[in-house]
Chains A and B, each alone.
Chain A
Amino acid sequence: MALLDIEGLSVAFGRPDSPIRAVDGVDLAIEPGETVGLVGESGSGKSVTALAVMGLVDPPGRVVARRIAFAGRDLAALTPAARRAIVGKDIAMIFQDPLAALDPCYTVAFQIGEALRRHGTPDERRSARRRRARALELLAQVEIPDARARLDAWPHQLSGGMAQRVMIAIAIACKPRLLIADEPTTALDVTVQAQVLELLARLTREHGMALLLISHDLAVVAQSVSRVAVLYAGQVMEEGRVPAIFASPRHPYTRALIDALPEHNVGRARLAALPGVVPSASARPPGCLLAPRCPRVRERCRIELPRPAHGEGSVLRCFYPLVPRGAVAADMGT
């Protein structure tokens, strides 16, 4: 049984009679211990999807889903209080800007302890000393140098990388089974990004924790997860295993994202750029959402919305997909 099972998730904003769909019928399943990436450009709905799982979509946003199940329990059917008992304990989430995500008025130890006091073992809930010891343990786990001295540090005394480690320590404090990381390294420098990605990889491996990594950066996702879903304008365009999906993408949008990377254009004068912009959530084309920008567009694409086709470990939403190319693998080596 899948750890997280999302079916037909939609999130709409705006007036009910003219909804603006930020997420439009997303299906996604994550097995225990699996690492999954969610990539897309801004406005693709990747962050809103995560917030919907966490139950953090604020009004006026409306979440509709056939099913959002975690470990067999339907999250949507739970009372807010029952849901909060799962959120933060079994599902944890970390955000893009670590310095803004920590409360400036409380120390590192307090903010870690707060999670333990709410969701920890009975021992941890009772004893402040036990919580402090566990906080120290966690800081060491996320490889914060001189962890003991950092316990009583305030968030503003931390560098961005350090703050991201603290946020991860808080998130894993209660041994979650799923960690959702929303652009966890976007605000960090390249060298620090590499450290944080390595840390996330180690933690998922050691704790058997599943990871949903949300990023706009294909390369970051390619380095970190085993399966990827590509989102465009609130819909999953393609889903598949890494590295196959990057070596031979089937959807023209995935192909375009890869081709737009400078990495793939070494020696070429121009980057292969997809023309135009993502359609705004309020002005959707009637057919395939990519149709206005797609280099392979045909008449049918403009009229009819393609349904997602499920294959073995893969999903594809396209009438005229690319033929898998063996030659691409050689291309990757350059």
Chain B
Amino acid sequence: MLIAVAFIAFALFNFTGDPVVFMVGQDATQAEKDQLRHDLGLDRPFVVQFARFVGRAVQGDFGRSLRQGRSVAELLKERLPATVELAVVAAVLALVVGIPLGIYTALHRDSPLAHAVMAASLVGVSLPTFLIGIVLILVFAVRLKWLPSFGRGETVAIGWWTTGLLTASGRKALILPAITLSLFQMTLVMRLVRAEMIDVLKSDFIRFARARGLTERAIHFRHALRNTLVPVITITGLQLGAIIAFAIITETVFQWPGMGLLFIQAVNFADVPVMAAYLCLIALVFVAINLVVDLLYYAVDPRLRVDRTATAST
């Protein structure tokens, strides 16, 4: 799967534009261009280029940025913390708000508040991310001047990792982009939890739990919620990958110095190594998340944990 993504990424960008044109000026001679092309290895056959790309990529070497002349791996490493922090905070926000709202709307289906939340969630699903971002900037940064509208604020370096979570300005800068990025996921999580929970509440074991006179609390949280979480884990897990991918838009709107912004800038300059590396990294993230989701299943659903046949007979 990773190889496939790498191939597509590589192939796609190989035919999208000629980076050499961007790199040298309009008035460069053909000889100068050819020399550069040779130096970069761009005059080799496509297959050779790809093989070299893969060979180096597995060692963590994605080549050099055609625009900045720096190592791609280094560039990504520099930008990774910003994106990861943004994505994780957004995901946590989506879960922390989405799950309780989902539970509430499932348990109090006919209450006015639940109706209001459901209506609001419709807006959340349908509004495009950039619009939400711009509106938030307009209200909180421009009008109220409470929060910064762009950038990451001050960061603290911990080894090669930089974090904005330890400074006040860094935390303030994180609020608007995190809300923007999480809003769509939040509504998704909420609607998913609600639908699943309503389904689970109709099941036989909930009826049996009621027939045992258990408290509503035990029925809702111990039995209904736990069974609701299995499908929710899958979706939110997969959505975490989507959050990182979607971060491109949010990062652009807020000029957030993450990988997404790097990618957009790379696209503008047909900076193939950066684009290819970014896509490979995103694919890697998706694969890793899928693995984690599968492992989480084992924690939540005992049916997967134990071999059914081992103890089925007497």
> Do A and B share a direct contact in the complex (Cβ within 8 angstroms)?
yes
Chain A residues engaging chain B, CB cutoff 8 angstroms? 54, 56, 84-89, 92-95, 97, 100-107, 114-115, 118-119, 145-146, 149, 153-154, 156-159, 162, 167, 170-171
Contact A145 B314 (CB under 8 A): yes
Contacts of B211 in A (CB 8 A): 54, 56, 87-88, 92-93, 95
Shortest Cβ distance from residue B83 to the other chain A in the assembled complex, whole angstroms: 35
A114-B214 contact, Cβ under 8 Å, with A105-B302, A145-B314: yes
Question: What residues of B have a CB within 8 angstroms of the CB of A104 in the complex?
Answer: 205, 227, 301-303
Within 8 A of A (CB), among B291-314: 300-303, 305-306, 308, 310-314
A84-B213, A86-B213, A105-B301 known; A146 and B314 CB under 8 Å?
Answer: yes
Q: How far is the CB of A47 from chain B (nearest CB, A)?
A: 11
Please give me the residue from chain A that is nearest to B300 by CB atom.
A105
Any A CB within 8 A of the CB of B127: no
Kindly list chain B residues whose C-beta atoms are within 8 Å of the C-beta of A119. 213
Q: Which residues of A contact B306 (CB under 8 A)?
A: 154, 157
Q: Which of A92, A105, A146 has its CB near the most chain B CB atoms (within 10 A)?
A: A105
On chain B, the residues within 8 Å of A118 by CB distance are 212-215, 218
Q: Does B145 lie at the interface of the complex (its beta carbon under 8 Å from any beta carbon of A)?
A: no
A97:B213 contact, CB within 8 angstroms: no
Out of A54, A88, A94, name the residue touching B214 (CB < 8 Å): A88
Q: Which DSSP category, helix, strand, loop or mixed, fits chain A's interface?
A: mixed
A88–B302 CB distance below 8 A? no
Residue among A101, A146, A159 making CB contact with B208, cutoff 8 Å: A101
Q: Are B207 and A92 touching (Cβ within 8 A)?
A: no
Q: Max chain A CB contacts within 10 Å: which of B227, B300, B302? A: B302
Chain B residue at minimum C-beta to C-beta distance from A159: B312
Check B208 against A167 for contact (C-beta < 8 Å).
yes
CA distance A118 to B209 in the complex (A): 11
Is B223 an interface residue, CB under 8 A from the partner?
A: yes
Cα–Cα distance between A183 and B272 once the two chains are bound (Å): 68
Q: Measured between C-beta atoms, what is the minimum distance from B122 to chain A in Å?
A: 25
Cβ-defined contact, B213 with A95, below 8 A? no
Structural contact, A95 and B204, CB atoms closer than 8 A: yes
Mark contacts of B196-222 with chain A using CB atoms, 8 A cut-off: 1 yes-contact digit, 0 otherwise.
000000011101111111110010001
Please measure, in the bound complex, the distance between the C-alpha atom of A203 and the C-alpha atom of B166, giving whole angstroms: 65
Could you tell me the distance in whole angstroms from the C-beta of A254 to the nearest C-beta in chain B?
A: 29
Contacts A154-B302, A157-B311 known; A102 to B208 CB distance under 8 Å? yes
B213:A100 contact, CB within 8 angstroms? no
1/0 contact string of B205-248 vs chain A (CB within 8 Å): 10111111111001000110011000000000000000000000
Bound state CA distance, A153 and B307, in angstroms?
Answer: 11
Told that A56-B207, A104-B227, A104-B303 touch, could you supply 8 new A-B pairs with CB distance under 8 A?
A: A84-B214, A85-B213, A88-B212, A92-B212, A95-B211, A103-B223, A103-B227, A105-B302
User: How many Å lie between the Cα of A88 and that of B214 in the bound state?
Assistant: 8
Residues of chain B touching chain A, judged by Cβ–Cβ distance below 8 Å, are 203-205, 207-215, 218, 222-223, 226-227, 300-303, 305-306, 308, 310-314
10 A-B residue pairs with Cβ-Cβ distance under 8 Å, sorted by A, are: A85-B213, A93-B208, A101-B205, A101-B207, A103-B226, A104-B227, A115-B214, A118-B218, A162-B314, A170-B212
Contact A102 B205 (CB under 8 A): yes
Find the B residue at minimum CB distance from A182: B211
Q: Which residues of A contact B218 (CB under 8 A)?
A: 114, 118
A56 and B212 alpha carbons, distance in the complex (Å): 11
Report the separation of the CA atoms of residues A95 and B211 in the bound assembly, to the nearest whole angstrom: 10
Q: Give the complex CA separation of A56 and B209 in angstroms.
A: 11
Q: Which 3 A-B pairs give the minimum distances between C-beta atoms? A: A88-B213, A100-B204, A88-B212
Give min CB distance, A50 to chain B, whole Å: 9
Report the minimum CB–CB distance from A176 to chain B (whole Å).
Answer: 10
B206 CB, min distance to chain A CBs, angstroms: 8
Chain A residue contacts of B222, Cβ below 8 A: 106, 114
Q: Which residue, of B210, B213, B215, has the highest number of chain A Cβ atoms within 10 A?
A: B213
Given contacts A86-B213, A88-B213, A118-B212, is CB(A157)–CB(B205) below 8 Å? Answer: no
Query: Cβ of A171: which chain B residues have Cβ within 8 Å of it?
Result: 212
CB of A89 within 8 A of CB of B213, answer yes
Residues of A within 8 A of B207 (CB): 56, 95, 101
Whether A154 contacts B303 by the Cβ 8 Å rule is: yes
A156 pairs with B308, CB closer than 8 A:
yes
Q: In the complex, A94→B305 CA distance in Å? A: 28
